[in-house]
Chains A and B, each alone.
Chain A
Amino acid sequence: MNLLSAVLLIVGAMSCLLGALGLLRFPDLPSRLQAATKPQTLGLLLILLGTALRLDLEDTATLGLVALCQVLTAPVISQLIGRAAYRAGSLRRDLLVVDELGAPLSRERPDRTD
């Protein structure tokens, strides 16, 4: 049990560290969001699991609540920031493979130029 907990803690922290490295190194805001959301959520889940293995059962319930919170709220924040970034134009168009939001936005509001 101790060994499993140790492995989970270290792998979770490594995931957080790699995510932070991506947050610093990636070239534009949408790719930075990618590094900010998924590795951090995975790292938090692993660390919470590793912590839960060292605690009693009744304390584990609240840890599950924290994990649920994080899984629900991380996509919401990512979506909010990504949408604001797209409309503010702070992304590198030469790095986009497909732009599914551009056509509907300009059809909806033709007076906008973004």
Chain B
Amino acid sequence: MTAVFTVTLVMLCLAGALTLARLLLGPTTLDRIAALDVFVILIVDAVAVYVAIYRDGSNIPLLAAVALLGFVGSATAARLAERRDRHR
């Protein structure tokens, strides 16, 4: 089972690295917002794997909080980016 968790976490880390590359490359603000949204989902994934490793349910509310915060942040940022583009 340890090998399974290692492989899972390594794949999640690789996915995070690729997402960070898109975050740095851009080229527009909306690309970066999409990349950040994916990154929040990857963090939720990693915490879920942590919960699975230690069979410890006390971190599950953290999952819900991070998922909801990620939604609010991405939605707000997308609205602001759209409005700024319109006024330019």
**A contact set with B: CB distance below 8 Å:** 2, 5-6, 9-10, 12-14, 16-17, 19-21, 23-24, 29, 32-33, 36, 40-41, 43-44, 47-48, 50-51, 54-56, 58-59, 62-63, 65-66, 69-70, 73, 76-77, 80-81, 83-85, 87-88, 90
The listed residue (B16, B81, B82, B86) touching A20 by CB distance below 8 A is B16
Q: Which of A20, A23, A51 counts the most chain B CB atoms within 10 A?
A: A20
Interface string of B1-44 (1 = CB under 8 A from A): 10011011101101110110110010010110111011001101
**Minimum distance in angstroms from A5 CB to a CB of chain B:** 7
> Is B55 touching A54 in the complex (CB atoms < 8 A)?
yes
The listed residue (A9, A62, A69) touching B49 by CB distance below 8 A is A9
Range, interface on chain B: 35 or more
The listed residue (B8, B18, B33, B86) touching A13 by CB distance below 8 A is B8
Known: A20-B15, A23-B38, A65-B64. A81 touches B57 (CB 8 A): no
> Is B41 touching A55 in the complex (CB atoms < 8 A)?
no
Q: Which residue of A lies closest to B12 (CB)?
A: A13
Known: A88-B85, A90-B30. A62 touches B60 (CB 8 A): yes
In Å, the complex CA distance between A76 and B52 comes to 29
> Is B52 touching A23 in the complex (CB atoms < 8 A)?
no
Q: In the complex, what residues of A have CB within 8 A of residue B22's CB?
A: 23-24, 32
In Å, the complex CA distance between A81 and B81 comes to 9
In Å, the complex CA distance between A50 and B56 comes to 14
Q: In the complex, what residues of B have CB within 8 A of residue A10's CB?
A: 4, 7-8, 11
* 4 interchain residue pairs of minimum CB distance: A59-B57, A84-B82, A20-B15, A13-B11
> Is A17 touching B15 in the complex (CB atoms < 8 A)?
yes
